[in-house]
Structures are given as C-alpha cells and as structure tokens.
Structure 1
Amino acid sequence: MSHRDTTTVTQAGTVPPGSPLSQHRSTASARVEAGPVKQRDAFFDNAKYLTIVLVAAGHTWEPLRDGSRAAGALYMLVYAFHMPAFIIISGYFSRSFDASPERIKRLVTQLVVPYVVFETAYTLYTRWTDQSPDRPISLLDPLYLTWFLAALFIWRLTTPLWRTVRWPLPLALLVAALATLAPIGDDLALQRTLQFLPYFVLGLCLKPEHFRMVRRRRVRLLAIPVFAGGLAMAYWAVPRMTAGWFFHDDSAVELGAPGWYGPVMALALFGCSLLLVACFLAWIPGRRTWFTALGAGTLYGYLLHGFVAQGAKFWGWYGPAWVHRPLGEIIVTAVAVTVVTVLCTPPVRRVFRFVVEPGTEWAFRRTAATQPSGVRGEPRSAGGR
C-alpha cells in the first residue's frame, strides 16, 4: 500500500488490522484503560538524595571530630536535621498505609527481609573489622544502620493509629518525651524509635501545600541566616554539649544529665530540628537535575555505604595526619559523597536488588489484589513510593 493509500484509509477512519498504526492504537487504548502513569516527584527524589549524602558525610566526619572543632560543629549541625528530614519524608509517603494484606506484604518485602539480611551481614562484617569473632547475631539488637529499618517497620505498622487519633503530633511528642526519662534497652532500637517518632507522625500529617510553603522565595532567603546561626551555635556547643542528644538512642540519665532534662531536650531539639529541616527543604530544587534519578536508590546508598565507612576505620584511612587538616577533611568528604552517589546508581541497584528489594511473592498467598489482570499495573519502585 502506498503512502497516499495509507493516508486515505486513515482519514476515512478504517485501519487495516495488524498494521503498525493499528498496533499503536491498541497500545494507546490499553494505556488509557490502565489510567495515567504515576510520575515520581522530582522534589522528593532530590531531597532524598541530598539527605543520604549528608548521612554519608556525617559518618565520614565522626572520626575527625576529636581533633577539629569545625568538623565537630558541622557534624552536630548535620545530625540535628538530616535524619529528621529523611524520617519526615518517610512519614509523608506512608500516609496511605492501611495495614491491608497487600501493604503488609510490601512491608515484609521492603523492610523485614532487608533487615534480616543486612543485620546478619553487618554483624559478620563487624566481627572482622572489630576483631570480635564472638559477637552474636541478634535480630533484636539492630547494628549500625539497620536500626532505621526496624524503626520504619514499627512506625508504619502504627500508621492507622496515628491517622485515627485526634491530636497525633502532641501525643507522639509526649511519647518521645517520656522515652527520654529512663533507659528502655536496645531491643529493636526502641529508645531511638520512640524518640524519633514525632518526625514520622509529622510527615503523616503534612500535605503537599506544606512543602510548597517552605519552598517560597522568602523562606529560601531566611534559610541562609538560620543555617549560619545554627552553625555558629553548633561551634559554640561542641565543647559544652554531647552530640549524643542528636542520636536519640539514650535516655537523659545515660547521657549524664538529670532525668527532667530529657523531656525538655526532646521538645527543644524537635523545634530546632524542624526549623533546620524547613530551611533544608527550602533549597531543594523542584526540577529534574542530574541526581534526581538517584533519589529512587537512596535505600541502597544508605545500607551499603556503611560497609565502606566501617572499613575505612579498620584499614586505617584516618591514620595519616593530613587527613585531619582542612584540605584532608574536604577530600575525605568528597570521597564519601562520591561513594554514596555511586551506590545509588542503577547498575549498583541491579546488582544488589536481590537483597535490598527481594522478590518474595512466592512466600505469600495470592489475594484479589495480586491476581493477574488484563492490564499490567504500575511497577513497584524503590522506597515503596
């Protein structure tokens, strides 16, 4: 058939079956029936990537704090808001969790299985790096980075409760304040889970317009003096305050303070962290950038970079004197940023997907939601979004 004949048939509204145009229309029709494809929000992917970069930088600065007050100040400032920001975003994307069978399956696949795998891997790795061959493998005592998986599992399970009560955030703040009064123990990082709880609950309460508010030009400009003041305050506090308050994994008594300090510090740090998180989010670009796609792989960067951070201490990378000078600190930070960036890339994610996002469909019964249908649904993306 000539080009002219094809044009005539198309204009007449009749397309020969099996032709490329017919196949195109069939595909387009299927897409219409399936509904619009859900697009990832570049703002949140950018925020997740930049947050995970700060996590890696913070772990890099930890061995540098003793000999450098500036490194200690940066460390304290970053720890005041980087995990709160990550947890708030996690809470925001947990709003739809309803404890349905399909959601529970995702919870097990995305959090429980990786927790078991990486808790075991980090324990075996630590036996080697710390020269402690007798260290037991305990799934009740999260090691290093795995505490976040255990905490997120608990937070998401309680999401229906926080979506039901009348004053969720004040109640969560009360729980966090009470958790600082006495040691709770290391089981499932419960102390840290309870003290970080308000940030997750706040994320559940937020709406898109709240994020638009902090991205206004006025807030962006105000963020500059706020961060400058925060850094100055951190520099002042380095010799006067333990950074342990920002880890949220100890009670006030364990940090050498009277018990009543705990609730006061919990509320004060929440306000301080919330202000810094707002300033941090104000400068997150909302457009697609070269690192936007890496935001989908932040869980990979988070879980894998710990092996490099732990190994750096074991291999003596912090031993040379030049590392503890300003130029050395900058180089070490650049290396950490590069490493965590590479770990978020698609090739690394393909290699480690079997442990970070394992396929566990074989372990569950099929429900109505998982029965095959005529139209393929949206593929699952990293991070449960």
Structure 2
Amino acid sequence: MTDLIPPPRTPESASAPGATPPSAAHPGGTVPDGTTPAGGARAPRGRDAYFDNVKFFLIMLVVLGHFWEVFRNDSHAANAVYTFVYGFHMPVFVFVSGYFSRGFMRSPEKFRGIFPTLVVPYVIFNVLYRLQLVFINGNDFRLHELFRPQFLMWFLVALVLWRLSAPLWTHLRHPVAVAMALSLIAGSWSFNSDSTLCRAAGLLPFFVLGLTIRRDRVEALRGPGWTRWAGTAVLVAALPIAYVWQLGSVLPKVERGVLLWNRGYEHMGFNAVEGMAYRLAALGIAVVLGMAFLAAVPRGRAWYTKLGTRTMYVYLMHGLVVKTLDYGGFFNGHFFQTPLGLVSVTAGALALGLLLATVPVQRLTHWAVEPKGRWLLKPSHGGT
C-alpha cells in the first residue's frame, strides 16, 4: 500500500461476499486485517472513505505548510495560516497514525514490517535530502551527517520509536495521562538538542491517544450533521485568532518551537514551569482544532478519496521539490513577496500535492517509496 498512515476499514466491505483484505500499509508498517481496536470490536475489513479523506486533507496541509514556511517572515497573512495549520495538522497526523497502529500492541509479528517499510525508505530519502544540501545549497559533504534526519524525515524516525513503544501502553491504567506527563517533563531533558527526539517526546500523547481511544469516541465526531458544521465554524474562527496571535500585539507572540515541537524549553528561553505551560497550551489547542478538523472532514467518497491512499508518495517527495526551489533561490524574486505571488505559490503547492498522489508518479517512484525490503528479514515462524 502507499499510505503514510495505515488503511482504515469499512463495515460495508466486511460483509461483501469474497471481500479481499487490504495489503500491507505504509508507514509505515503493515497492519493486517482483523485488527481489534482497544476497547472495541474486531475491525471490519476494507477501506473507510472518511479516513482516506482525512489523510488527503492532512497531507495537503503538510505540503502547504512547507511552502508557506518560506514566506512566514515576509507576510502576516502567510504567518497566520502557517500558525493555524501548525497548531493541529501534525498532532492529528500522529493521532491517526496511532489509531491505525493498534496491531503493534498485540502482535510481535507486526514489528517485522518496520524495517522494510520505514527504515529502508528513510535511508533512501534522507540521503537524497542530504545530497540536496551539498549539490544545490553548497554545503560541505560530511559523512557523519549523511543519515541524520533531514527536514521532514524526522517523522519516520519518530514513528519507529512510537510503534516500538506500543506494547507498553496496554499495561498502563491511564496511558494518555502518563504520555502527557512524559511530554511535559521531557521538554526540560538534555536530549532536546536533537529535534527528532524532541518531537517524538512532545507529540507522544497524540500517538498514545490514537492508540488507546475507544472507537465510538472517534465515530461520534463523524456522527450527526451538526458536528461537521460545528467543526468548520471552529476552524474558521481560529484563523483570525491566529492572525492576531502571531502579531504579538495583544497576546504573547507565538514561539515557533512550540508549534513545531522541535525545541526544548531551555532552547526557547523558558524555564521549566513556563515551558510546561506553553506545551500544555499547545496540547490543548491541538486537541480542540484537531477535533474540529476531524468533524469537518467529509464522510463519503469523493474525487480525492483515492488520492488519500498515496500519502507516502506525497510526503516523501514534495520536500525534495520544496528544498530544490528554496535552495535554488526560486522564491527570492520580488513577485513572490506580493499577495499575488503568495496565492500563486499556494496554488502551485496544491497542484504539486495532487500530482504526487497520482498513479503515474506512484509507478515511477515505487522503487524508492515502497522498496522491496522484505529480503532483509529472516523467514517468519509461519514460513512467510
């Protein structure tokens, strides 16, 4: 499969005669059919259009966010939408990843999928991102930096760490509370000099929440029609608030490290108490906006639903385009400092996200995004 987040399942396909189970999912990692969510019944087979829609809109926000990041210092409008998007989109991504990683809590066999579906693509693309720095940005080549997470590759490393920890959370009485405590405390630990570990610790509560939440609580967000309107209203109202917030004239200006989850309290100039307060606020904002987003996403199949099954391709490859344009000075022209330039970049980012989710791109780049890495594993006990 081609998902950045494992595939959902739908009741309709479970009852269909001769229904075939979906194949292994990216990333990462495989999620066999019959996964039993914590506190719920056995998951039915097939794909759920709602979650494919969720993944489509999330990956488009990821692409837009990385393009808007280039302009955030030059435009209050760009900084506002950037602040708004980064307030919830990665926490929701992590939550959905946890929601479809429940098989890792019970089946040791699941861990076999981590290496071929997460580690091998990480090596391939991280080398590509590092080589961009050398050949386009003019950085010196340093062998010891070759496999250090570059740009968006942190997520694959964090996902490996989160999934390896999955069995632990089944034994705790209050797993989300423990994960929140670890997230708050970890902001003051010395490993925060590494942005990947900092993000893995900071965003851990969202993964654990997705891993352990009852299915009926998620279903409630996609229930009555009023929830969709309520979610949309919350998101619309959050935009002007983000605009005022990032100005720093009424509320304290948003510290970028709080939004990105990539810096410890000391590195942001906070003491432990201040840092915990900001991180707790970020957790709360992400939960509110995340719930609003999940409620606002359309439920049924649409033209973009199938594109939501190829999020791995969009995620890994769009960054190569963003960094090529950025390192090459493409955005330095005066045109891109104007409102029309920003609108043009936004339209181009959307077009890029759609293009990278198409079947032709999948066929051309399958060797790198979904490499045949199973040969690296010993045969399983079942002989497969």
TM-score interval for Structure 1 and Structure 2 normalised by the shorter chain:
0.7 to 0.9
SS at structure 2 position matched to 1:366: coil
1:211 to 213, 218, 229: 218
2:91 to 84, 87, 99: 84
Cα distance change, pair 49–127 in 1 and its aligned pair in 2 (3 A): same
Paired residue for 1:223? 231
Cα distance in structure 1, aligned partners of 2:18 and 2:81 = 52
Shift of 1:238: 1.2
2:191 to 184, 196, 200: 184
Paired residue for 1:235? 243
Correspondences of 1:144-163 after superposition (within 5 Å): 144-163=151-170
Cα distance in structure 1, aligned partners of 2:382 and 2:241 = 52
Query: What does the per-residue CA deviation read over 1:97-138, in whole Å, with 9 as the maximum and x for residues that have no partner?
Result: 147453122111111111111111111111122210234453
Cα distance in structure 2, aligned partners of 1:354 and 1:314 = 26
Cα distance in structure 2, aligned partners of 1:333 and 1:66 = 16
AA at the equivalent of 1:69:
H
Cα distance change, pair 322–156 in 1 and its aligned pair in 2 (3 A): same
Correspondences of 1:251-290 after superposition (within 5 Å): 251-290=264-303
Query: What does the per-residue CA deviation read over 1:52-107, in whole Å, with 9 as the maximum and x for residues that have no partner?
Result: 10011011111211221111010000001110111111000001114745312211
Instruction: Choose 91-100 or 42-51, whichever is displaced more.
Output: 91-100
| 2:316 maps to 1:309 | no
Cα distance change, pair 188–67 in 1 and its aligned pair in 2 (3 A): closer
SS at structure 1 position matched to 2:348: helix
Name structure 1 gaps, 5 residues minimum: 1-30, 372-385
TM superposition score normalised by structure 2: 0.83
Paired residue for 2:374? 361
Contact 2:227 2:296 in 1 (8 A): no
Cα distance in structure 1, aligned partners of 2:368 and 2:305 = 23
Paired residue for 1:249? 262
Paired residue for 2:131? 124
Cα distance in structure 1, aligned partners of 2:293 and 2:272 = 32
Contact 1:150 1:188 in 2 (8 A): no
Shift of 1:35: 6.8
Shift of 1:210: 2.0
Paired residue for 1:52? 59
1:172 to 168, 179, 182: 179
Cα distance in structure 2, aligned partners of 1:297 and 1:333 = 21
Query: What does the per-residue CA deviation read over 1:244-266, in whole Å, with 9 as the maximum and x for residues that have no partner?
Result: 21110101221122231111112
Contact 1:183 1:250 in 2 (8 A): no
Cα distance in structure 2, aligned partners of 1:205 and 1:357 = 28
Instruction: Choose 228-237 or 104-113, whichever is displaced more.
Output: 228-237
Query: What does the per-residue CA deviation read over 1:326-351, in whole Å, with 9 as the maximum and x for residues that have no partner?
Result: 22211101101111211122221122
SS at structure 1 position matched to 2:126: helix
Instruction: Choose 319-328 or 160-169, whichever is displaced more.
Output: 319-328
Identity %, equivalent residues: 36
Name structure 2 gaps, 5 residues minimum: 1-15, 23-44, 248-252
Paired residue for 1:70? 77
Cα distance change, pair 242–35 in 1 and its aligned pair in 2 (3 A): closer
Contact 1:180 1:251 in 2 (8 A): yes
Cα distance in structure 1, aligned partners of 2:84 and 2:19 = 46
Paired residue for 1:382? none
SS at structure 2 position matched to 1:184: helix
SS at structure 2 position matched to 1:290: coil
Max radius of gyration: which structure? 1
Paired residue for 2:26? none
SS at structure 1 position matched to 2:301: coil
SS at structure 2 position matched to 1:285: coil
| 2:121 maps to 1:114 | yes
Shift of 1:185: 4.3
Cα distance change, pair 251–74 in 1 and its aligned pair in 2 (3 A): same
Contact 2:99 2:211 in 1 (8 A): yes
